[in-house]
Chain A
């Protein structure tokens, strides 16, 4: 193990690390905007409506195909429809497309986890469906979405490594380039693993903190564990 070499290449990986973080964070943000709106449409639609069928098949497609295929589709399809994007933005489109599929599920689960009694109580004091949704249901479910969304960010960081196949110069691609020029795979891969690992560990620590300290307004609800969604 060549420690000097590791220290030597570390600065060369900082820029790619920034690309990895940037592509993941932009995708998460766009994905959350789209995911929350589409998730709300899912919840608001009736079971056999057209919107729900469409959203269900979208989610089914995203969860049923590997991300590498989705990246290839974005990479080949976008120029075909006249969008000649930079490879970075192709990556953003692909990751966002992927992430939205998972986030619709997160939003749906969070909204549905709010007890039915909340709807009934709001209705009984004269609120309309829409008022109930925006003032009662959404604020409560937003709190429950935070941990899975932070978790989604670490999934996206891992998924962004696959963007190396379309030559986006992010962490994995940069590591590959160094391996190809120096033939020292163990050092490079170890360093890459440590970088990804610490990034993701930091994020899951943040998730834990958000979950237990910041978004935990009534600890009893969470501590009893099982009563999730039933306490109200």
Chain B
């Protein structure tokens, strides 16, 4: 029987799975928070900076979104030691995920800032604010509100992407599950537990994201048409 599951075994490995989920969660939260800092800084330069800087940042974004996350992870893993940066697997994973997250978050920041009605910036300029003041005092506070649900959603995506860190032996959920499979030669029990763990974490975040979306309800709807939203929907899987 395919689904004759060994419940006792599942109880036995549950503590390990829970510990590993905690690692997954920690890595993802760290990556998203660092990613937000990087994403906000670069996102503002993307909106306000000199044209060459804007182009450079756009290249970075295109590069991150156009290349599989697995390659970024491999690159960071191999490249950090050759710059004499010795990090353990956990922090290597954080650095790799931060760079991936930042690439997506720059776009979130940019589209949030650009979704603020043009009149807001013009009004700010017309009362004598300069571009920077308009950005910091008028546009960013409004854009920040709009970013919150999207960023929560991004955290869910990064949690999913963190599963790829198993290839560089970070002891997160997928890696621990994999180790258990090869240690005990039982796959169904382990995979079900791992999948359920991810489902719980990701669903909670998705739910939080849609709650926040209602809570921080927009005064004006985003002006993007669904079509252009779709075509920019490059996701991390």
Contacts and interface: CB of A to CB of B under 8 A. Distances in A.
Interface string B54-83: 000000001100111111001100110010
Nearest to B63: A197
Q: Which secondary structure dominates chain A's binding surface? A: helix
Bin the interface of chain B by size. 35 or more
Nearest to B203: A64
Interface in A135-178: 144, 147-148, 151, 154-155, 157-162, 164-165, 172, 175-176
B164 A162 contact: yes
A73 B196 CA distance: 13
A69 B74 contact: no
B223 A69 contact: no
Contacts of A80: 2, 188
A69 B225 contact: no
Contact of A144 (B62, B187, B227): B227
Interface of B: 2, 62-63, 66-71, 74-75, 78-79, 82, 159-164, 166-167, 174, 177-178, 181, 187-188, 191, 194-195, 198-199, 202-203, 206, 223-228, 230-231, 233-235, 237
Contacts of B66: 154, 196-197, 200-201, 204
B237 A186 contact: no
Contacts of B62: 197, 201
B225 A222 contact: yes
14 contacts: A64-B199, A69-B174, A69-B194, A147-B227, A147-B231, A148-B233, A157-B68, A185-B79, A186-B78, A196-B66, A197-B66, A197-B67, A225-B225, A226-B223
